[in-house]
Amino acid sequence: MKIIETKDIAKRYIMGTEVVDALKSVSISINKGEYVAFMGPSGSGKSTLMNIIGCLDSPTGGTYILNDKDVSDMTENELAEIRNKEIGFVFQTFNLLPRISSLDNVALPLIYAGFGKSARTERAQKVLESVGLGERSLHRPNELSGGQRQRVAVARALVNNPSILLADEPTGNLDTKTSYEIMELFEEIHSKGNTIIMVTHEEDIAQYAHRIIRLRDGLVESDVQNPNPTNPREMARKLAAEQSE
C-alpha cells in the first residue's frame, strides 16, 4: 500500500535575480512499512525533498499524495494539521525544550492533538519506556547524554502514532557507539511496521536502510533496494569487541 507518492515534484527558489531549482522533477513512491534513506551531496535536493514530504514546505510544481490525500496545494493550517497527525520528526540537533522534563518534551505534540493532561502523561511515559528511557522521564535534556536526548526526540516523534517517521541526519551529532544504538532503535521501530525515511550524507548510516534513493542536482540519480542492510546489533558487538582488545 502506497503511503507516499510524488509525481514530477519541483521546487524553485527565487533569490533576487538568481533562480535555484532545488528539485527539478522527482517522482517516487514509498509503501507503508518501508525503511528508506535519501542520500546525496550538498545541494542535491535531499533536504528539500524531505521538507516537502514532511509538509514543512510546498512544491512549486508536481503533485504530492500522502496517505491518499493530495497535500500539494494545502494551506499552512492544513499542512500543520497533517504534520501533527501523520508525521513524526527526528532532527540532528534533537530540538528539545531545555527547561522541561523528558516526559513533558515527549507529551508536547499531544497538547496540539487535544489530549488531556493525564492521557498525555500516561502515553508519553509509555513511549519513553519503549525507547528505554522510562526511568529518565523526569530528567531535563541537559541531564542526559547525546544518545539519550536523541531517544527522547524519537519518543516525541512516535507519541502521536504517526504514519511516517522522518529523520534528518539523526546520528550527525553522535559518536560511533551511540550512532549504532540509535540505528538499533530505528530497526526495532521498523520491525513493528513503522515507515521510516532518513536523510543522511553518511554512507555507512544509509546502509542500515532497506532502500536507498540517491539524489543529484534535483533529480533521482538511483533508487535501489539494499540487499544486505547493516545489522546494528552486529556492529555494536564488533565495536565492543574492538574496544575490549
The total number of structural domains that make up the chain? 1
**Is residue 30, in this structure, part of any structural domain at all?**
yes
CB-CB contact of 21 with 217 (8 Å): no
Picking from 71, 31, 73, 25, the residue whose alpha carbon sits closest to that of residue 49 is 25
**Is residue 203, in this structure, part of any structural domain at all?**
yes
CB-CB contact of 147 with 179 (8 Å): no
- The CATH number for 217's domain is 3.40.50.300
How many Cβ atoms are within 10 Å of 25's Cβ, its own excluded? 15
Query: How confident is the prediction along the chain (245 residues), in pLDDT tens digits per residue?
Result: 899 999 999 999 998 899 999 999 999 999 999 999 999 988 899 999 999 999 998 899 999 999 999 998 888 888 888 888 889 999 888 889 999 999 999 999 888 878 888 999 999 999 999 999 999 999 999 999 999 999 999 999 999 889 899 999 988 888 888 888 899 999 999 998 999 999 998 899 999 999 999 999 999 999 999 999 998 878 777 777 777 66
How far apart are the C-alpha atoms of 206 and 222, rounded to whole Å? 14
**Is residue 182, in this structure, part of any structural domain at all?**
yes
Range of the domain at 13: 2-92+154-244
**Is residue 31, in this structure, part of any structural domain at all?**
yes
Name the maximum alpha-carbon separation found in the chain: 59
pTM: 0.89
What cell numbers appear for 208 in the block?
542500515
**Is residue 231, in this structure, part of any structural domain at all?**
yes
**Is residue 162, in this structure, part of any structural domain at all?**
yes
